Chains A and B, each alone.
Chain A
Amino acid sequence: MRKLLLLGLALSVFVAFAAPGMAAEKVIKIGYIGALTGDTAVWGQAGLNGMKLTAKKVNDAGGVLGSAIEVIGMDGKGKPEDSLNALSKLIDMGVIAVVGTNFSSCNIPMAPVATAKKIPLLATAASDPKVTVDETGKLLEYSFRIGFIDPFQGRVLAAFAIEKLGAKTAAILTDIGSDYSYGLSSYFEEEFRKLGGKIVASEQGRAGDNDYRAQLSKFKTVNPDVILVPWIDKDVALIAKQARELGIKAAFMGGDGWDNQDMITMAGAALEGGYYTSQPSFGREVTKPYYDEYVKTYNIKPETEALFGHDAVMWIVDALKRAGKADSVALKGALENTTGFEGLMGTMNIEKKTHNPVKPCSVMTIKGGKIVYVGDFMPKN
């Protein structure tokens, strides 16, 4: 395994050095910050590998704006202070933009620095809303992200329920102890109402309460078409089981907190026919050639972070072409005005007020106790 990793590293260094050869004079530098060492290095390495693989493809096809792309990886160790140092070093090296990280804790302190230095910073999987807007809701102008924020899944679930499941009424059970659950619920409620649905009951509980039958008994009397349960871990299974015990037949829906085969096995028949959302990944057909090439190049299976790396490079290339010049301020403007960017993770628009992407979520269903990929779904703007 270690040998394979070393080989992968050696290859990636080779790719990085070999690529600029074609246009030695003109190079556009893009930085990447991720945990290249330590416990979470598996993601950081995948992100960097993914970017380098994509940059090579771009360069082989003639580069962008007459220049080659050079990807420079810098170890942020998954820690805020190291990531901040890495950001300063990359800016000193003259990068036009920086990609990374996948940790909100690292991007929250980096975003104001990138904004002050006018260098676009593109977070990958960091999902905290505060990565792109500050405490008061003010936009951090140079901070972007490729992955969607957690509550966005609520919007997708609401649209999916109405358009695909034909739901007219919904009930919501929120974990009041969790920001994640609260955010998903409120986005769901807003979108569901906007699309003409009716929220017939909204109840609260707290993870660890264990018994949710008081709330569920109320749901039974209003008989909703779908029940949103944006919880994580065993409580999802407990809620579903208790609901079935009470004779509730409605389909359950949830976010990526459901992405846990153990929990689904435990719920047994209770979650059957339920739906949940998650970040698009290699389940998508269009990712196949990239997946194969990645495996061929690095001899290791790619993590989802590699897809983020790919989409980040392609998004920057797309924005540079639209900006017409290799300048970080112009690049920021072009990134902000992105509509219909086609990445491997789906079509992406950018919300100007928040710099959050509007893009498809992968929708999964539970069939025969197993997680089955249904397809990608995106709410209409």
Chain B
Amino acid sequence: MLAQQLINGLSVGGIYALLSTGYALIYSLLGFSNWAHGEVAMLGAYIAVMSVIAAKLPFVASLALALAGAALISLVNEKFFYRHIRNNNSPTMFLMIAAMGLSTTYKNLIVVLVGPKFKYFPQILPFESFEFCGINVGVLDIFSIVVSLAAIVLLDVLIYHTKFGLGIRGCASDSVTAELLGVNVNRYILIVFLLAGGLAGCAGVLLGMKYTVYPSLGNVALKAFIASVFGGLGSIRGAILGAFMIGILETLVSAYVSSGLRDLFTFGLLIAILLIRPEGLLGKSVEQKS
């Protein structure tokens, strides 16, 4: 049973990772937690499911649309809301409040425009699951682990091994100095929002395929946020590590301690991390963890 539970944990962790990297990317540049991130994923899932159900588009096309759409929404959030707040020299807290407002707005917008009832994708993959040495592995799980890993590896290469990534890391390290050195910080911020949005859209579609699409789908991002705190806020590799660890921890607690107490453990871990090691597993020491 342990092997089965580890597989269960990995597949949940993969989706957490897609979302937690988005938190980490934006936190590293702007120093705030983007609470609307989960809703960007939810909107991505709606774009995909509606283009499959209503517009009868093939799945690959709807996935591409969802990624582009979510990236665009994320970009709109930055360009029309967050940037203005930054330009006003308002405290970082204002960015978080604006993000919370956007999160509620998007959820309600979907309830009004599409309705509160869940939507689901028609069966896209031919098989549901197969058995391997007594362990049952869902085809959708393998698909989502492969897609998550591919996206994560690409992101890692982009951030840590390209000149573009150096620019982002430069802005993250000290945006004022980077600007003085001629780096267009606002452009980098825009690109980071595009990236985070695209990842969220991808996570949204995977979530929607596995768990149906509904207005509060984005709530799962709360777990991804805990993962990014656990791994170290602002650290992308930390966010990935944290996501897989939370995914596995949750399934192991459900399996061997109590399924009713699972969330207590996850949120307890968040508090413990903030008290004992606020910089997380791989993060650098920071003062503000909000």
Q: List A residues at the B interface (Cβ < 8 Å).
A: 176, 203-206, 208, 210-211, 213-215, 217-218, 220-221, 233-234, 237-238, 241-242, 244-247, 262, 266, 268
Contact of B1 among A211, A221, A238 (CB under 8 A): A221
- Contact between chains at A247 and B131 (CB < 8 Å): yes
When the two chains form the complex, which single residue of A210, A237, A238, A246 contacts B4, counting CB atoms closer than 8 Å? A246
A204 is contacted by which of B120, B123, B255, B260 (Cβ under 8 Å)? B260
Give B138's nearest chain A residue, CB to CB: A245
Tell me if B175 is interfacial: C-beta within 8 Å of chain A: no
Q: When the two chains form their complex, are residues B211 and A210 in contact, meaning their CB atoms are under 8 A apart?
A: yes
> Which of A205, A241, A245 has its CB near the most chain B CB atoms (within 10 A)?
A245
State the main secondary structure of chain B at its contact with A.
helix
- Give the shortest distance, in Å, between A232 (CB) and chain B (any CB): 12
B1 touches A213 (CB 8 A): no
The answer to whether A245 and B8 have CB atoms under 8 Å apart is: no
> Is A247 in contact with B210, judged by CB distance below 8 angstroms?
no
The interface residues of chain A lying within 8 Å CB-to-CB of B9 are: 214
Q: Are A213 and B8 in contact (CB under 8 A)?
A: yes
Complex CA–CA separation, A266 to B53 (angstroms) = 13
Residues of B within 8 A of A241 (CB): 128
B112 to chain A, nearest CB (A): 19
CA distance A205 to B252 in the complex (A): 14
Chain B residues with CB under 8 Å of chain A are: 1, 4-5, 8-9, 12, 117-118, 120, 123, 128-129, 131, 136, 138, 207, 210-212, 214, 216, 219-220, 250-252, 254-255, 258-260, 262-263
The answer to whether B211 touches A205, judged by C-beta atoms less than 8 angstroms apart, is no
Q: How far is the CB of B287 from chain A (nearest CB, A)?
A: 34
Q: B128 to nearest A CB, angstroms?
A: 5
Contact of A208 among B216, B258, B259 (CB under 8 A): B216
Chain B residues contacting A204 (CB-CB under 8 Å) are 258-260
Cα A204 to Cα B254 in complex, Å, equals 9
Complex CA gap A180/B220 in Å reads 24
Please give 19 more A-B residue pairs, beta carbons under 8 A apart, in addition to A214-B254, A234-B118, A266-B118. A204-B259, A208-B219, A210-B210, A211-B12, A211-B210, A214-B8, A214-B9, A214-B250, A214-B252, A214-B262, A215-B254, A217-B8, A233-B118, A242-B138, A244-B128, A246-B136, A247-B136, A266-B120, A268-B123
Inter-chain contacts of B1 with A (CB < 8 A): 217-218, 220-221
Q: Are A214 and B259 in contact (CB under 8 A)?
A: yes
Contact B4 A217 (CB under 8 A): yes
Smallest Cβ distance from A269 to chain B, in angstroms?
9
Determine the distance from Cα of A217 to Cα of B141 in the docked complex, in whole angstroms: 15
Give B258's nearest chain A residue, CB to CB. Answer: A204
Q: How far is the CA of A300 from the CA of B131 in the complex (A)?
A: 54
Query: What secondary structure prevails in chain A residues at the interface with B?
Result: helix
> Could you say which residues of chain A place their CB within 8 Å of the CB of B211?
210-211, 238
Known contacts A176-B260, A208-B219: A238-B251 contact under CB 8 Å: no
- Alpha-carbon distance between A241 and B125 when the two chains are bound, in angstroms: 14
* Alpha-carbon distance between A234 and B214 when the two chains are bound, in angstroms: 10
A245 with B118: CB separation less than 8 A:
no
> Are B8 and A266 touching (Cβ within 8 A)?
no
Selected A-B contacts with CB under 8 Å, 13 pairs: A176-B260, A204-B260, A208-B216, A208-B219, A210-B220, A211-B210, A211-B211, A213-B251, A217-B1, A234-B212, A244-B128, A245-B138, A262-B117
A214: chain B residues at CB < 8 Å are 5, 8-9, 250-252, 254-255, 259, 262
Query: In the complex, which residue of chain B has the Cβ closest to the Cβ of A267?
Result: B120
Interface centre among A211, A215, A237, A246 (most CB of B within 10 A): A211
Contact, CB under 8 Å: A206 / B254: no
- Select from chain A the residue with minimum beta-carbon distance to B12: A211
In the complex, the chain B residue whose C-beta lies closest to that of A244 is B128
Residues of A within 8 A of B263 (CB): 206
B45 CB, nearest partner CB in chain A, Å: 12
Chain A residues with Cβ under 8 A from B262's Cβ?
Answer: 214
Q: Report Cα–Cα, A191/B8, bound state, in Å.
A: 33
A286 CB → nearest B CB, Å: 35
B118 partner residues in chain A, CB cutoff 8 A: 233-234, 266
Q: In the complex, A215→B254 CA distance in Å?
A: 6
Nearest A residue to B121, CB-CB: A266
Least CB distance, A256 to chain B, in whole angstroms: 18
B5: chain A residues at CB < 8 Å are 214, 217
Q: Which residues of A contact B255 (CB under 8 A)?
A: 214-215, 217-218
Complex Cα distance, B120 from A123, in Å, reads 38
Would you list the 5 A-B pairs with minimal beta carbon distance, nearest first? A214-B254, A204-B260, A210-B211, A245-B129, A214-B251
Nearest-neighbor residue (CB-CB) of A211 within chain B:
B12
Residue of B nearest to A266 (CB): B120
Least CB distance, B181 to chain A, in whole angstroms: 45
Residue of B nearest to A242 (CB): B138
Please, which residues of chain A bring their CB within 8 A of the CB of B260? Answer: 176, 204
